[in-house]
Structure 1
Amino acid sequence: MKVGLLTREYPPDVYGGAGVHVEFLARELGSLTELAVHCWGEGEADGVVRHRAWADLDTANDALRTLSVDLSMAAALEGRDLVHSHTWYANLAGHVGKLLHGIPHVMTSHSLEPLRPWKSEQLGGGYALSSWAERTAIEAADAVVAVSRGMREDILACYPAVDPARVHVVHNGIDTDLYRPDPGTSALHRHGIDTSRPYVLFVGRITRQKGVPHLLRAARQLDPGIQLVLCAGAPDTAEIDREFRTLFEELGHTRDGVTWIPRMLPRPEVIQLLTHAAVFVCPSVYEPLGIVNLEAMACGTAVVASRVGGIPEVVSDGTTGLLVPYDAGQPERFEHDLAVLLNHLAADPRRAGAMGTAGRHRAVREFGWGAVARRTLDVYESVMELRKN
C-alpha cells in the first residue's frame, strides 16, 4: 500500500505532541507500507518531501500560508493509494488530495479547533479559516482516528455530521527504549538545577492549552524547598508570552529555585530532566491525550495532571500519578489543588517512586509504537476494503 503521510511537524522541526506522534508512527509504518512523508520545510530526502508556503504569502496570515502548503502537498500525492493527514495544518491537503486523486483520506485528530477558541489570539481571522479547513476535512474523511476515547467523544460532539462508525480510537504511543530512566545528571548541572533539592518539572509550549499561567500561580503555594523547572518555549502569541514572563518574574521575586529554560531541548537532555524530577506536572486545560505524560511515565516519574480530555486514559489516578479536576469557572480552586498535590508527592519520595515505577510498567505494557502502527494499518485496510465494496 502506497501511503502519503501529511504533517506540519517532522524532524528536526518538532515542537509538540502531534509532531512526536508522526515521527514515531512514520518510523514504524515505513516497514509496513510504502510510505512518503510530506511536511513543512524545504527539500526532499529519504522519503520525506518538504513543502514551503508560497513566497508571495510570506507576510500574510498564517492560515493563508497553511492553505498554500496544503495545495502543494495535495499536488504531490499522485500515485498514492491512501492519504493520512495530521492536524488542521495538513487536513485540507488530505481532503483536496482525496478529491483530486480519487484516494481515501484518513485523518488523525490531535485536537479540535472548536475547543481551542484561544487560537483566535494567534491566528486572528485565520481562526475562521482553520476551523473551516478542519470541518471540511473531518466531515468528508473516510476515517477519523481519535487519539483517545475522550477525543472521540469530543469529535462526535463538535461534528455531529460525522458517522460514529468512521471514528476509530488509536492511542498515542511511546518509545520506551528511547524514553527510559537516565541516571546521568549533566543536563541538570548545565541548566543550574540544584540536585540536592526536589524539583517539579513542566515540559511544553507556552500556550493557553497547556495551562502554564495556572502553574505559575499555583507555584506561589509550593513548599520553599521545592524547585520549579520550566522547559517552556514556542509561545503561541506575543500576549501569552508577555503574560508568562510577567508571572515568571513575579514568582522569582517571592522565592528561589525557579528555573526557566526558554527553548525546546534536545531529547537526551529532556529525558534526564524527566528522570530526576520529583514530580512531572501537566496543568493543561485541554488535552486530547497528553503524550508528554507518557514520556514522563516511561522515564519512571510520577505525574500530577489535570483531569481533562484523554489524560485519565494515560495517568491512572492514585497509581501512576494524581489527577486534579479542572473547572474553567474556578481557576483559583484548580491552582490551589494543583499546588497541594505537587507538595504532597514532592514530600513523599517513596510514594512518588512507586508511582513512577508503575508508570514505567504501564507505558511499556500498553503504549508501544509498534502496536499503534499496526492499529493504524488496520484502519487503512478497513478503509481500502470499504472502497472495494
Structure 2
Amino acid sequence: MRIAMVSEHASPLAVLGGVDAGGQNVYVARLSEELASRGHDVTVYTRRDSTDLPDRVTMPGGTVVEHVPAGPPRPVPKDELFPYMPGFGAHLARAWQRERPDAVHAHFWMSGMAARIGAHPHGIPVVQTFHALGTVKRRHQGRRDTSPFERVGIERQLGRNCSRILATCTDEVYELADMGVSPQRVSVVPCGVDADHFHPGARDVRHVPPREQRHRILSCGRLVRRKGYDKAIRALTRIPDTELIVAGGPPPGLLETDPEAERLLKLAERAGVADRVRLIGAVDPAHMPAVMGSADLVLCTPVYEPFGIVPLEAMACGVPVVATDVGGHKDTVTDGVTGRRVPAGDAWAVAAAVRDLLADGELRRRMGETGRERVLARYTWHRVADGVEQVYRQVAVGRGLRTEVA
C-alpha cells in the first residue's frame, strides 16, 4: 500500500525530550519503520521548522519524510500552529493529486484538519489518531490550557467524519463517546515498544548515575507539569533510604534554565528531600535501557496520560511500575501483576505502593518478569503494525470495523 502519515508537529526525525517532542514522535517513527519493512510505501508529512532542512529525507528503513512549508521555517509551539493548517492541507492536496495514497493516517487533531483538506478532493480515506484529546486537556489544565479554542469542536467533527478513528487505549473510546463519537467508529490499537532495545540485560554502568541510597526509583519523560514529578517528590518524603532520579527535559547543562526543573528542585528543597532527588536531564535513547535497569522500580505519576510509553519501556526492561490510574496506564499496567496503579494526584498512595514493592524483592522480580512477558505478547511494534495495517486495508476498500482491541 501507499501510506501517507501526517504529523504536523511531531517529526520522526526530531530529537526527543523537548516540550513538544515525545511519545507521538516515537509512535510515528517506529510505526512507519515497521510498515516500510513490510514493503509498504510510507511518506511522513511534517512541518518544516528550519531553513536548513531538505525537502525530503529518506530514513534508514525506507520511510520518506517530507517537510511541508506551513508557517515560518522555525520552531513554533504546537498550540500556535493552528493558523497554518489550511496551508499545510493545501500542500497535501497538491502532492496527493500527483501521487494518490491508498490511505492517510493523521496524528493529532491539527494533522487531522490538514489531512482532511488534502484528502477530500481526491476521495482518500483518512484514519485519525488523536494521541491526546482537547476535552481531557481542558479538564485537567483549566486556564493553563493553551490549545486553540477551536480544538474540541474540530476533534468532534473529525471523529464523526474521518473514515476510522484509531485509538491507543480503551479509555479514549469512552472519552470519544462523551463527545458524541460512536464507539462503532473506533478501533483500539495500542502504542508499542522496541523490546530488543529495551530489555532486562541492559546494565552498562558507564551511562548510569551512581547509586547513593539503598533503593532507587526512576521517573522519566518530558519535563512538563502534567507528568506529575511533583507528586513523586512529595511521595519521597515517606519513602526512606531511597533516591529519586528524574530523567528528561533539556540536556544536563541547560537544566538550570528550565522553569519546570527549577520548580521541582525548589519543591524538593522545601520538602527536605533535595539530597535524594537528582534531575539528570535528557538521556541518550541508546542509554535509557541501562538507566531504567538501574532502578528498583519506575514511577509514572501524570495527572493524565493519553497513553504513556514509559511503563512499556520499563516492563520491557523487566522493571515493575507504579503508575497513576489514568489513560493508557489502565490497559498497560496490570495492578498487582506487573506493578501497581494508584489514584492520580495522591502522593501518599504513591508512597505506600512504592514502600510495599521496595520491601519485597521477590515480588519485584516476579512483576518484572511478567511485565516483560506482557510486552512481548501485546506491545511489540510488530504486533501494533498488525492492528494498524488491518485498519488501513479495511478503510481502503471502504468496509467498516467493529470496535476491537488488538
Q: Normalising to structure 2: TM-score of the pair?
A: 0.83
Counterpart for residue 206 of structure 2? 186
Would the alpha carbon gap of residues 215 and 77 (structure 1) be closer, same or farther in structure 2, given more than 3 Å must change? farther
Are 1:108 and 2:129 counterparts?
A: yes
User: Would you say the 8 A contact 2:5–2:106 is kept in 1?
Assistant: yes
Q: Which residue of 2 aligns with 1:35?
A: 42
Distance in 1, matches of 2:165 and 2:26, equals: 19
2:253 maps to what in 1?
A: none
Between the aligned partners of 2:74 and 2:206, the Cα distance in structure 1 is 43
1:199 counterpart = 2:216: yes
Q: From 19, 39, 59, give the equivalent of 2:25.
A: 19
* 1:262 CA drift (Å): 2.8
User: Per-residue deviation at 1:210?
Assistant: 1.8
Between the aligned partners of 1:145 and 1:291, the Cα distance in structure 2 is 17
Give the Cα separation in 2 of the matches to 1:77 and 1:208.
39
Note closer, same or farther for the CA distance 1:36–1:211 as it changes in structure 2 (3 Å cut): same
Structure 1's 35 and 246: CA in aligned 2 closer, same or farther, altered over 3 A?
A: closer
Q: Distance in 1 between matches of 2:150 and 2:45?
A: 21
Whether contact under 8 Å (2:89, 2:118) holds in the other structure is: no
Q: Using a 3 Å threshold, how does the CA distance of structure 1 residues 24 and 195 change in structure 2: closer, same or farther?
A: farther
Per the TM alignment, residue 108 of structure 1 is displaced from its structure 2 partner at its CA by 1.3
Residues 1:366 and 2:378 aligned together: yes
> Is the Cα contact below 8 Å between 1:193 and 1:259 reproduced in 2?
no
Deviations 1:243-283 (A, max 9, x none): 652332231462312110233x2212211111111110111
Q: Number of aligned pairs?
A: 368
Matched position secondary structure for 1:386: coil
Cα shift at 1:141: 0.6
Determine whether 1:86 maps to 2:86. Answer: no
Please report the RMSD computed on the Cα atoms of aligned residues, expressed in angstroms: 2.6
CA separation of 1:289/1:57 partners in 2, compared to 1, >3 Å: closer, same or farther? closer
Spell out, residue by residue over 1:106-131, the C-alpha distance to the aligned partner (whole angstroms, 9 max, x if none). 011322111001286363xx521333
User: By how many angstroms is 1:343 displaced?
Assistant: 2.3
Question: Structure 1: which amino acid aligns with 2:372?
Answer: R
SS in structure 2 of the partner of residue 127 of structure 1: coil
Match of 1:231 in 2: 247
2:398 corresponds to:
386
**1:59–1:89 distance in 2 versus 1, CA, 3 Å:** closer
Q: How does 1:186-265 map to 2 (within 5 A)?
A: 186-188=206-208, 192-194=209-211, 197-223=214-240, 225-233=241-249, 242=259, 245-252=262-269, 254-255=272-273, 256-263=275-282, 265=283
The answer on whether the counterparts of 2:292 and 2:319 sit within 8 Å (CA) in structure 1 is yes
Tell me: CA distance 1:347–1:374, structure 2 relative to 1, closer, same or farther (3 Å). same
- Partner Cα separation in structure 2 for residue 4 and residue 344 of structure 1: 47
Gaps of 5+ in 2: 59-63, 251-257, 401-406
Residue among 310, 313, 320 paired with 2:328: 310
Gaps (5+ residues) in structure 1? 235-240
In structure 2, give the amino acid aligned to 1:107: Q
Q: C-alpha distance in 1, partners of 2:224/2:217?
A: 19
